[in-house]
Structure 1
Amino acid sequence: MSAESRDEAAWWESAVIYEIALISFQDSNGDGRGDLAGLLSRIDYLKWLGVGAVWLTPIYKSPFRDLGYDISDYCSIDPAYGSLEGFDRLLEALHGAGIRLILDLVPNHTANDHAWFVESASSRNSAKADWYVWADPAENGGPPNNWLSRFGGSGWEWCEARRQYYYHSFLVEQPDLNWRNPQVRAAIADAMRFWLDRGVDGFRVDASAVLIKDRLLRDNPANPQAEGKPPPQRQTPVFTDDRPETMDCIEFIREVIDAYPGRMLCGEVQGKTDRIGHFYGNDRPRLHLPLNFALLDSKWDAFSLQATIDAYLNAIPDDGWPVWIIGGHDKQRIASKIGEAQMRVLAMLLMTLRGTPFFFMGDEIGRKRVPIPPDRVRDPFEKLVPGYGLCRDPERAPMRWDDSPDGGFTTGRPWLPLEPSDGAANIAAEQRDERSILALFRALMTLRREHAGLQRGGYEPLRSQNDVLAYKRRDGRNEILVALNLAAEPRKFHWQGRGRLLMSTQLDRPPEPVPDASILLRGNEGVIIALEPR
């Protein structure tokens, strides 16, 4: 395969992927909810920013109890977002701008008003009777076992029509599909083909590690580290999560997408870093990109990050392509954890590590968690399991495009409140500032496109010392050095050889030679240096 054709076949290895929660991106009709037409109106921004692909949270027909992850029809657009015709216009416009589109695939569960579940719940003799996870009551008439829902309480719900319980990993209104049933697999495959035939470039598989549950319905043991955790985490989910049979399900999904050249499959996986490798597959491929949240979970200092990066890279197969994520629709904003100054350092880290970068809308302006008044909370997790500080609404608040009260997002009442406009970061103000964090994100993506070594080049770690995280990227004889000061005070950094400064996180140092193999890094500053060939 030529280099050019390989670039096309594995476009996700060089692309930067931008997650959008459509409901919070841009409203076009004043109903306070983002929609397809709103996203269409912002394509110029996406092109200006330089992202290579957009991943949308679910846009399918849904009662929207959990951000659309409760799907009523896999092959239609929810009317609140638009229509199939509007989707086709959006996809054509994105492709015309050189931007690919990834949709969320939710194969583990449906909404309880999906026609499949309505039929399955109607009778044990219905045509779809075995399409969901059903079980008889325990001897005492209660739930079949002790499995818990992630949203609190038992994972089992009684159905009077069948005189059985159905299992729901998430909300009671989100019954789990039975992936042991070939008809279920075929139906999900048909839904995938519906969108692939329309031209989408791939899928992000939601909850891919929980597709199969233990056939014997064995009870989960108690979690020995449960103290202080919310009730759903008080068990070790041995028999509900990451079962060996799940890999066969993922391999099946991969076979569907592999019939369409140049399409990509990424997925939400679970478990510790040392488990992520098996989601790539061995003899049978699984996910192109198992999503990696290690940077979000790491302590924020040079030694911890050095260890986090090394542990992850050692955990994936030699031919596996790395993934780095700094935000998401159900992950707390990292800017609230590390602060505005270090957010710039994180941006440089994200865009220069070997692998595919993912970030969430708003990360590019260093957005923090948005305060949500109790009477405006929409997240079912916070409503059902309150008091643990895990509400996801602060991340899902609408984009702030300008400094108006509703941020240029809507002319109506936004579905979730925005932060106060006074002093809040917004796209318009950041675009006017040549040294803003938004300008930094854009400049880093531009530099990444211009240097092959930053896209697919090799990675060579250097020893972290004196609060500086450092590494090299190499493409043939061309070497690029990245040095990141994780401290708020200046640090001197030394290396072998000479180089030329390409960029500082402060965007105030011009490209210039660095002849003495050392540089004084200001507090919270990172630099990229092109090294002279030896």
Structure 2
Amino acid sequence: MATEAGRQVDADWWRGAVIYQVYPRSFQDTTGDGIGDIKGITARLPHIASLGVDAIWLSPFFTSPMADMGYDVSDYCNVDPMFGTLADFDEMMEEAHRHGLKVIIDQVISHTSDRHPWFIESRSSRTNPKADWYVWADPKPDGTVPNNWLSIFGGPGWEWDGVRRQYYMHNFLISQPDLNFHNPEVQDALLDTVRFWLDRGVDGFRLDTVNYYFHDKQLRNNPPMVYDAATAGLESDTNPYSMQNHLYDKSQPENIEFLKRLRALLDSYGGRATGGEGGDGPRSLTTPAIYTSGNDKLHMCYTFDLLGPAFSAAYIRRVMSTVHDIVTNGWVCWAFSNHDVVRHVTRFAKSAEERDRVAKLSITLLTVLRGSICLYQGEELGLAEAELAFEDLRDPYGIRFWPAFKGRDGCRTPMPWESGEPHAGFTAGSKTWLPVPQDHAARAVDTQEERDESVLHHYRRALAFRKGHPPLIDGDMTFLDTHGQDLLAFVREKGGEKLLFVFNLTREPQEFRLPERVADCLPVSMPDFPSVLEKGVVKLDALDVFCARV
């Protein structure tokens, strides 16, 4: 029997964990239809485990019309035939556990597909048992929409239904109606779907759009966004959604009590975890702080703060310092890439020649930040964003805003496994749901396995370095003054071990004289970044990092 301390450690496995995101549609196809499946994930688990990660996060695989690539669910308790069966899922999870990997699934409960039985019943009349399960509202006297709320995917956040003669709310596609969380029956039904997967043994949930669950009952209009220092970088010339300050269509105070109900359910199973997607514009860190505080809501929150174009010492320090000040007793999960944003090698690298260097430095930085981290499939190969023609697009978001915004398909193309095989080994079929770029095939797993200096091998070394030093898992983080130099310097500390890091994210060599309190240190060479210290002065090449034991 495990000791109490052992059970506590296991319960906190998520704290400081490294989580590998799998986009099932693009990971590995075993049926030849050009679309990835669950059996393909099972077949490739050895690759994931070889990286040294702690868990996998699966993007949605539930039954769905796939209008939004599975984020429009029509059955929360089944696997879409495109991906396989529940038996396939159970086999995959058992194999993942055998490899020492936890399994986190994407729970999309702020909205459903318009083909979900709940919505079909809800829209049939104003008096049926599920009439109040979605957000319905009467039109204004002139027939226009109830308020000014917008859809992220373009246009009003309301759609007219001729049967009920009312509008229903949708934050995303018209075919993704929002559930009415003010109705306790809706909460109960959704918690039952969570219980279904807990009973199957999943280890946790990534909660999609976790701050979108509740809406303002009074349907008050959102005010315009006022751009200032706090909202710098949120401007968009592409999507008018960013022109509003979303005070009333999301992030409502009622969400707190539901998250407590959800946490209580997970706690009753033990050793399970939740991570919420908490992007909230100017409140991008305030919301995660609230949602992860008190040890009775979310275990951790996934922020968008490192998913933009900024890759500078000043920006990273500002974000991490803000986290230290705001998220005082909560926990944050960081990522540079995911299925919704341009791959970070494309965002950060200024030329194709420096992509490998940027890829290696990025993961090195990510692994030494305070928090848990998420990796997105393919980033361990240094994949850049794919350039796709309009006719190849499948993402409704990109199709809607083309050509100003090219959508999310460029980061969702199939994983390249064998460079010499058709479609880089992703499928034995004649076509793929999205094309495999030639430059991705050249970076396939088998090619990088053969080169010790590859990005793939660096990822393994960087993650091993993180695991080998407890301060990097959940230790304290203290910044050092760089006296105006464009450098990022901080100390991670826990249990008597103290590590100093100095990052140069610029394209010019720099020198940094160590402060007296850390001058008595022993350089530690990080994977692929030898540390150089001469008479108390750190010597840094362009895109470089120094590490020392203090």
The question of a shared fold, defined as TM-score above 0.5 by the shorter chain, is answered with yes
1:225-244, aligned counterparts within 5 Å? 228-244=237-253
TM-score (norm 2): 0.91
Distance 1:277 1:63, change over 3 A: closer
Q: Please, which moves more after superposition, 227-236 or 468-477?
A: 227-236
2:542 pairs, out of 485, 505, 523, with 523
State whether residues 17 and 54 of structure 2, in contact with CA within 8 Å, keep that contact through their aligned partners in structure 1: yes
Structure 1, gaps ≥5 residues long = none
User: Equivalent residue for 1:316?
Assistant: 327
1:473 to 2:473 alignment: no
- How far, CA to CA, are the matches of 1:480 and 1:237 in structure 2? 41
Asked if 1:489 corresponds to 2:508, the answer is yes
Q: Secondary structure at the match of 1:359?
A: strand
Shift of the alpha carbon at 1:283?
A: 5.2
- 1:294 equivalent in structure 2: 305
For 1:379 and 1:219, how far apart are their aligned partners in 2? 29
2-structure distance, mates of 1:298, 1:254: 34
Contact 2:383 2:440 survives alignment (8 Å): no
Separation (CA, whole Å) in 1 of partners of 2:297 and 2:418: 42
Q: Quick one: distance in 1 between partners of 2:93 and 2:533?
A: 45
Local SS of the residue matching 1:279: helix
- Residue of 373, 386, 391 corresponding to 2:389: 373
Residue in 1 that maps onto 2:202: 200
TM alignment of 1:26-425, pairs within 5 A: 26-224=28-226, 228-269=237-278, 270-272=280-282, 273-282=284-293, 285-297=296-308, 299-317=310-328, 319-339=329-349, 340=355, 341-404=357-420, 405-412=422-429, 413-421=431-439, 424-425=442-443
Identity of aligned residues (%): 36
Structure 1 residue 196 displacement after superposition: 0.4
Deviations 1:208-245 (A, max 9, x none): 11111111112223335567241333333222021222
Amino acid in structure 2 at the alignment position of 1:328:
N
Task: Provide closer, same or farther for how the CA distance between residues 516 and 322 of structure 1 changes in structure 2, counting only shifts above 3 A.
Answer: farther
Deviation at 1:498, TM superposition (A): 4.3
* CA RMSD of superposed structures (Å): 2.1
The 3 A distance-change label for structure 1 pair 332 and 313 is: farther
In the alignment, the residues of structure 1 paired with residue 149 and residue 519 of structure 2 have an alpha-carbon distance, to the nearest angstrom, of: 59
SS of the residue corresponding to residue 253 of structure 1 reads helix
CA distance in 1, matches of 2:440, 2:181: 50
1:258 counterpart letter in structure 2: D
CA distance in 2, matches of 1:149, 1:101: 31
Q: Distance in 1 between matches of 2:291 and 2:219?
A: 27
CA distance in 2, matches of 1:174, 1:312: 33
Any idea what SS the aligned residue of 1:332 has? coil
Listed as ranges, the matches of 1:437-516 within 5 Å are 437-464=455-482, 466-495=485-514, 496-506=518-528, 509=530, 516=535
Inter-partner Cα distance in structure 1 for 2:185 and 2:70: 24
Q: Summarize deviations over 1:440-485 as a string: whole Å, max 9, x none.
A: 1111111121221221222121123533312111123221122222
Q: Decide whether aligned partners of structure 1 residues 297 and 452 sit closer, same or farther in structure 2, where only a CA change above 3 A counts.
A: same
TM superposition shift of 1:203: 0.5
3-state SS of the aligned residue for 1:64? coil
1:23 maps to 2:25: yes
TM score, norm. by length of structure 1: 0.93
Aligned residues: 527
In structure 1, C-alpha distance between the alignment counterparts of 2:295 and 2:317, rounded to whole Å: 32
> What letter corresponds to residue 257 of structure 2 in structure 1?
D
Q: Residues 17 and 359 of structure 1 are in contact (CA less than 8 Å); yes or no, is this contact kept in structure 2? A: yes
Q: Secondary structure at the match of 1:294?
A: coil
Three-state SS of the structure 2 residue aligned to 1:297 is: coil
Counterpart of 2:416, as a letter, is: R
CA distance, structure 2, for counterparts of residue 77 and residue 460 of structure 1:
45
